[in-house]
Structure 1
Amino acid sequence: MTRAFEPAAPFARPVLDLARALVGAELLLDGVGGVIVETEAYARHDAASHSCRGPTPRNRAMFGPPGRAYVYRSYGIHWCFNVVGGEEPGCAVLVRALEPTRGLERMRARRGLDDPRLLCAGPGRLCQALGLDASHDGADLGSAPFALAFGAGEPALVAGPRIGISRNAEAPWRFGLAGSRFLSRPFPRAPARPAAPASA
């Protein structure tokens, strides 16, 4: 089951909470998509965030209303999709991967492969599979062609460092659905606890 979509309200929460809440949400674009299984949070004054130096023509959507899309091209190659939110302007959540459940044939045609595990495992793959590009930057996620519904429960999550950044890289602001086969990359294993000393 999913909760009814409420414009802006679910997105105006601390960005780490939003990143966790989006895991398990259903994201569709023109009826194509699935369940979000991996996210990364980016805060206003986070050194790794596009917003850390203030508004620019590229990141203007990050400073707009919560519940909008922020879409940018990474390294001039791949599109990346973010959900704008947080308690202050300049925050967003990168959607890194989803489990495809609807419109798989359209995704396969766009991606040129069959394996469902590789259709949306990574920001660039996800955008290609869903047909996301710069034309969706700033779009309202509560209106067509988008549909976004938060999950009703609280799924088991794993957390770890974000991927592909050099600043504030140690922050454990990447979140994933525990046990999912559709993650972009496995999460680091938790360090083993030392054995308890033997009793005398």
Structure 2
Amino acid sequence: MKFSVLERAFYARPTLEVAEDLLGCLLVRELPDGQQLAARIVDLEAYIGEEDSACHASKGRTPRTQVMYGPPGHAYVYLIYGLHHLLNLVTEEAGRPCGVMLRAVQPLHNEEAMRALRQVKGRNLCNGPGKLTAALAVNKDYNQWDMTLGEQLWVAPRSEPLQETIQRGPRIGIDYAEPEDREAPWRFWLAENPWRSLR
């Protein structure tokens, strides 16, 4: 199956615009054996610059956050709790550290292979940020990966106009952030989609 690729210009825009426009797009993964997996993005969060206390870049440029300061359209992948990889897509112009974290996806193509990777039943397959990376075999090897190459890991545009209602609300798991950042409605999800993150 042939999947097209979102170009760099898509990501080189204000982060909240990119976040909303990513809903309904397809996260595509090509495994080493040539199998392709694809899942529809249904839940995500935006992180916007050093001024956002919930953003990793709020502490400035570090080896970990260096990729966020680079060109848009690259992946920022990191490990939390020593267990789960989280996938973020870098947005806006180089030098301004912003990104969108993918929270949940809906399997569309080759779900069987995703379940073989995760060994779970039901929607627990990919209804969380660490679950979706496991289901698509995304790990720290893909940190700094250029998502515009159309190889191994990329995002394809929506195949049809979005019909579902987009909801917005506060981001999750950012108790360390300043109150105004904790309350910012920078999480976006498809309201009617049963694959969205449960939290």
Q: Note whether the superposition's TM-score is higher than 0.5.
A: yes
- 1:178 correspondence with 2:186: no
Aligned residue for 1:153?
161
CA distance in 2, matches of 1:21, 1:81: 17
TM-score where L is the length of structure 2: 0.86
* In 2, Cα distance between equivalents of 1:75 and 1:86: 28
Q: 1:119 to 1:17 in 2, by over 3 A?
A: same
1:49 maps to 2:51: no
Return closer, same or farther for 1:154/1:172 CA change in 2, 3 Å cut-off: same
Q: Secondary structure of the residue that 1:142 maps to in structure 2?
A: coil
Corresponding position of 1:163: 172
Which residue does 2:33 correspond to in 1? none
Contact 2:6/2:157 (CA < 8 Å) preserved in 1?
no
Q: CA deviation at 1:6?
A: 4.8
Which of 76, 84, 96 aligns to 2:103? It is 96
Distance (whole Å) between structure 1 residues aligned to residue 118 and residue 8 of structure 2: 32
CA contact (8 A) 1:21 1:150 kept: no
Could you tell me which runs of 5 or more consecutive residues in structure 2 were left unpaired when the two chains were aligned: 31-35
1:162 maps to a residue whose letter is: R
Tell me, in whole angstroms, the C-alpha distance in 1 between the residues paired with 2:162 and 2:113: 30
d(CA) in 2 for partners of 1:98 and 1:6?
17
Identity of aligned residues (%): 39
One of 54, 60, 64 as aligned partner of 2:66: 60
- Per-residue displacement from partner, 1:67-102 (whole Å, max 9, x unpaired)? 110000112221000011124520000000000111
1:154 shift after superposition: 4.3
Alignment partners' CA distance in 2, 1:118 and 1:33? 16
1:118 alignment partner, SS class? helix
Give the AA of the match of 2:194.
R
Structure 2 counterpart of 1:33, from 23, 35, 38: 38
Displacement of 1:150 in angstroms is: 2.2
Determine the structure 1 residue equivalent to 2:18.
Answer: 18
Instruction: Tell me, in whole angstroms, the C-alpha distance in 1 between the residues paired with 2:102 and 2:57.
Output: 17
Task: Give the letter for the 1:153 counterpart.
Answer: P
* Greater displacement, 150-159 / 60-69: 150-159
C-alpha separation between the residues in 2 aligned to 1:5 and 1:124?
23
With normalisation by structure 1, the TM-score equals 0.86
Q: 1:150 and 1:52 mapped to 2: Cα distance?
A: 30
Gaps of 5+ in 1: 187-200
Counterpart of 2:135 in 1: which secondary structure? helix
Alignment CA distance shift 1:6-1:23 (3 Å): closer
Pairing of 1:126-145 with structure 2 (within 5 A): 126-143=132-149, 144-145=151-152
- What's the Cα RMSD here? 1.7
- Note if contact 1:40-1:96 (Cα within 8 Å) is conserved in structure 2: yes
Alignment length (residue pairs): 183
